[in-house]
Structure 1
């Protein structure tokens, strides 16, 4: 049986934990290989707790966030790598873009998760979205590194932003993550630099669980939800 793979393109070192940790853990338990690609460590804009301690350097903060991210990924069962493209602002040249393309071609993912198209509170997030989609198109191009196998057309799902209404994001697919909630919450607790988000994303999980239950005949306590970028292709409607 061929290994099935999934790719997560995360702008910062913690984004994947809050927004897709349950999905990652769920698919790992199903035997999939899930790889998380972090474009930055979130060292400037998402590490206020560390900077407030004083006597911090950029490299010290980066290392701390890297260790947190690796610890969270280990709990979820995924692999993780970092491009170190900067944070506030995130800036990505062609060399880094092609590394994302390489990840697509090496993994040939069945699906990809990334950020929303818009986020007026964090410009790094829509940039990560753009890069994930652009890299997908390049990875399909026979003229890019001829001789390599090109990928097909993996569906791309956009995980929930911090303030979805302002980001023009709406839930189109709910996933029951109740069986792996404890893993997700344990991963939260590794992300000490953003402890203030633990309770917030617990409430999000519960809220989406209620909505998932109302849109199904299931009792769901915790859920994650996604917006679809491309039309979904299936053999039937169920």
Structure 2
């Protein structure tokens, strides 16, 4: 495996301002606890398709919805211990041009992540999600290129993990990594509760974490004394290079 750099970091590319909380909040909090500097990029606030509760209040503007969503995401990131930035690329539809692609490549160069978390490559229920995946993957490739902004430190080859979509079977998503987030679950749930515009998902993603926790416990072996109650699932994109399989 490649030699570790002095400052460990991770990058999360989230299509909407709540996606990183539901799907990777535990991974973020756990790695912060381990000394990683975690950074989140929210491509959109989710102001149209993922803010129904806010719109149902009536007499509200899109700008006001965006502001609320940003405050929720900012608070959640702070609770998880991560830094966050917002690209504000719109929602339903989310769109990105070459300028945005290079902006994300610059984030890769700045953060120099040891791993990347983002959406799966398919999601027939939300086209913003595969767009975020493609943007994250292409920006990663550009950031690795010696000819892009010569003289800067190029990105190495951070592994990419796709976090769990809302309906995994329909997205051809199959986890090959189960991350034990038991010790940071309370912090993740506190971040979940920041997302008041989508309160209907709080219980759903609690059940997901419990289910993945059961699966993680079973896969680690019944003789293990390691306590696992909650977990997050991820699907890796690239093979892991190692000299030891155990």
Inter-partner Cα distance in structure 2 for 1:2 and 1:141: 22
Inter-partner Cα distance in structure 1 for 2:243 and 2:10: 21
Residue in 1 that maps onto 2:151: 147
4+ aligned runs moved over 4 Å, structure 1 = none
1:120 aligns with 2:124: yes
Residue in 1 that maps onto 2:236: 228
Residue in 2 that maps onto 1:72: 76
Inter-partner Cα distance in structure 1 for 2:119 and 2:37: 20
Shift of 1:146: 1.4
1:169 aligns with 2:173: yes
DSSP-derived class of the 1:60 partner: helix
Inter-partner Cα distance in structure 1 for 2:198 and 2:242: 39
Residue in 2 that maps onto 1:206: 210
Inter-partner Cα distance in structure 1 for 2:45 and 2:79: 18
Inter-partner Cα distance in structure 2 for 1:233 and 1:60: 47
Bigger Cα displacement from structure 2, 7-16 vs 225-234: 225-234
Residue in 2 that maps onto 1:51: 55
Per-residue CA deviation, residues 55-108 of structure 1 (Å, 9 max, x unaligned), is: 111110000000000000000000000000000000001111111101100111
Residue in 2 that maps onto 1:62: 66
Shift of 1:45: 0.4
TM score, norm. by length of structure 1: 0.98
Inter-partner Cα distance in structure 2 for 1:125 and 1:157: 14
DSSP-derived class of the 1:145 partner: coil
Uncovered stretches (5+) of structure 1, i.e. residues with no partner:
none
Inter-partner Cα distance in structure 2 for 1:82 and 1:96: 12
Per-residue CA deviation, residues 24-54 of structure 1 (Å, 9 max, x unaligned), is: 0000001110000000000000000000001
DSSP-derived class of the 2:162 partner: strand
Per-residue CA deviation, residues 143-182 of structure 1 (Å, 9 max, x unaligned), is: 1111211111100000000000000000100000000000
Shift of 1:234: 2.0
CA-atom RMSD in angstroms: 0.9
Uncovered stretches (5+) of structure 2, i.e. residues with no partner:
none
Bigger Cα displacement from structure 2, 122-131 vs 213-222: 213-222
Inter-partner Cα distance in structure 2 for 1:177 and 1:203: 14
Residue in 2 that maps onto 1:15: 19
